[in-house]
């Protein structure tokens, strides 16, 4: 999980238009979604207009929730394909 607690204070993002403009992105946390073949599919992310500090247990919890969600979605897609066949 990639976490930016306060993008306004982060050298990598402080001058990004999403941070300085009307969107006012301050907090960002994202987990990449990778296919079974290792190809990048996108990112599941959360943004906020206020800075956040996630504890290690919160990060671990979000990772577990993501894996559970991802696996349930994969199972649902597999079942739908199987039922169509």
76 backbone φψ class: left, alpha, beta (φ>0; ψ -120 to 50):
alpha
Position 13 pLDDT exceeds 80: yes
Q: What is the DSSP letter of 11?
A: T
Half-sphere exposure of 81 (CA within 13 A, CB side): 6
The pLDDT of residue 78 is 61
Residue (of 56, 12, 57) closest to 4 by Cα position: 12
Position 62 pLDDT exceeds 80: no
Give Cα 77 to chain centroid, integer Å: 21
Q: How many CB atoms lie within 10 A of CB 19?
A: 19
Average of per-residue pLDDT across 59-77: 69
Q: What is the pLDDT of residues 15-30, one digit of tens each?
A: 999 999 999 999 999 8
- In terms of average pLDDT, the best of 19-23, 44-48, 55-59 is 19-23
């Amino acid at each position: 999980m990639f976490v930016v607690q306060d993008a306004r204070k982060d050298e990598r993002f402080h001058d990004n238009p999403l941070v300085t403009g009307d969107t006012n992105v301050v907090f960002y946390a994202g987990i990449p979604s990778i296919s079974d073949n290792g190809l990048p599919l996108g990112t599941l992310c959360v943004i906020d207009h206020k800075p956040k500090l996630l504890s290690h247990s919160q990060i671990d919890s979000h990772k577990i929730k993501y894996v559970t969600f991802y696996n349930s979605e994969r199972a649902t897609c597999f079942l739908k394909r199987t039922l169509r066949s």
